[in-house]
Amino acid sequence: MPPKVDREKCDGCKAEKESLCEQICPGDLMTLAEDKKAYCRMPRDCWDCMSCIKACPKGALETRIPYQLGYHVAKLIPMMGTNTITWTCIDINGKVERFQYINRGMLD
């Protein structure tokens, strides 16, 4: 299940040698197309670990469940802070659920 790329938003990390999603993908799957927009080269191999989604500074990536497994359209959007992460989950009926917690240090 490859991440869906919002080609409007994706700036290919300004055509750097490797975009941040390309740098981080554990499966070596994200890469830049000729027009310098990110895409997943082997959609079948994606583990949807969402590392790329978290890394994208433009918010241009989104993980979607393939239709064969789940209905249209549910969303799960992480937002990364310095030591926090929030998740917004919107199910197919539009129900919104939110989660937030500290993901690094300073729990006291």
Partner 1 sequence: MQKTIPKIGLFIYEQGGRLARAIDLDAVIQRLARIKNVTRCEVLTDLAAPLPSIKEDFTSDKFNRILWVGKFSDYQKKTIQSELSSAGLNPYMHEWCDIEEQGIGIDGVDLGIQTQKAILIIQMSLARTRLLEPLEPLELPAIDAALIIGAGVSGLHTATSFMELGKKVYLVEKESGVGGKVASLHRLYPRICDPRCGLEFEIQKIRESDMVEVHTLSKVKSLEGSPGNFDVRIEKQPRYVSEEKCNACGECMKVCPAVIPEEQRSRESAFINETSQQVLNSLKSEKKAIHPAVPMPYPPTFLIERQSCPSECRECVKVCPAQAIELEQTSSEMAFKVGAVIVTTGWDPYQLSKVEEYGYGIYPNVISNLEMERLLESPPAIEEIGFIQCAGSRDERHLNYCSSVCCSVALKHVLYLKEKLPDARCYIFYQDIRTPGFDEELYQKVKSLHNVIFIRGNPSTVKPGDDGKLKIRTEDTFSGKEIDLSLDLLVLAGGMMPSQGSFEIAQLLNLPQNNFGFFESHLQCHPEESQRTGILVGGACRGPMNISQSIESSHRAAMEVLPFLNRTILIEPKYPVLDLTKCDKCKRCMEECPFLSYVFDENGFPSLDLTKCRQCGNCMGICPLIAISLRNNTIKQIAAQIQALKSSFMGKEEPVILAFLCENDAYHAAKSAVEYGLPVPPNVFFIKVPCAGSVNNALVADALAFGIDGVLIAGCKDGQCHYVKGNQLVKTRSGDLSDKLQKMMIDPQRVRFESLEIRDSKKYVELVKSYIEELRAMGPNPFKS
Partner 2 sequence: MAEKIPKSLNEIQTEVIATDLLIIGGGNAGCFAAYEAKTKNPSLRVTIMEKAHISRSGATAAGMDAINTFIRTDKGETPEKLVKWSRAQVGGGPIREDLALSNAELLNETVELLEEWGLPIVKDEDGHYKLRGRWDISIQGEQLKPIMAEKAMEVGAQVFNRVVATNLLMDGDRCVGAMGFGVRDGKFYVFHSKATIVSTGGACGIYKSPVTDYSGAHHQTWMCPFNVGTGYAIGIRGAAEMTSMEQRWIAIRTKDFCGPVDTISVAFGCMITNAKGERVMEVRYKDVGGDKAARFYRLNAPMTEWLEGRGPTYVDTTILSSEEAKDLREDLLNERPSFVLFLASRGHDITKEPVEIYGSDPYIVGGHTGSGYWVDMKRMTTVPGLFAAGETAGGNPNKFVGGCAVEGRLSARGAVDYIEKTTLPPLDTKQVEKEKERVFAPFIRGPEFDGVNPMEMEERMQRLMDEYAGGIHQFYRMNEERLDHALKNIKMLQDQTKYLYAKDIHSLMSAHEVSDRLDVAEVLVHHLKYRKETRWPGWQTRMDYPEVDPDMDCFVESVRDPKTGEIKIFKRPFKQLIPGDRTKA
The residue whose two tokens read 């969402």 is 50
Q: How far apart are CA 98 and CA 41, in angstroms?
A: 31
Establish whether 47 is a catalytic residue.
Answer: yes
64 is a site residue for partner 1 (CB under 8 A): no
In angstroms, the CA 28 to CA 40 distance is 9
- Please report, as ranges, the residues that interact with partner 2 according to CB under 8 A: 1, 17-18, 22-29, 31-32, 34, 41-51, 55, 63-66, 68-76, 78, 85, 87, 89-93, 95, 97, 99, 101-107
Q: How far is the CB of 105 from partner 1 (least distance, A)?
A: 9
Which of 35, 47, 97, 99 is labelled catalytic?
Answer: 47
Instruction: Determine the Cα–Cα distance for residues 20 and 8; give it in Å rounded to an integer.
Output: 17
Q: Which residues are catalytic?
A: 47
